[in-house]
Amino acid sequence: MKDEDRERLIAAVTSAHRERDADGRARAHPAWHDLDAAGRIEAFEATLRQRALEAAANAEGLSTTAQAVLARIRRLS
């Protein structure tokens, strides 16, 4: 796999957006399945760094993932 393809896949899987199945459960990003084991580890580590930066930039200290989860909880309650 070319480095640029690998970087594109990692960028895709580190986004906070996830499609949902018919029952509303978050699905793995399709690009996740195109990465090898080392690529998945790299994507995981990149996601940790990205979420920490998002939380640092948020007044409440929340990452985009945490914001999405809280919004979903609030809609359900």
List the pLDDT tens digit at each of the 77 positions of the chain: 788 999 999 999 998 778 889 998 889 889 999 999 999 999 999 999 999 999 999 999 999 889 988 998 999 88
Domain with 19, as residue range(s), is 3-76
The pLDDT of residue 73: 92
Provide the 3-class DSSP secondary structure of residue 26: strand
d(C-alpha 49, C-alpha 59), whole Å? 18
The pLDDT of residue 13: 92
What's the pTM?
0.76
**Count of domains in the chain?**
1
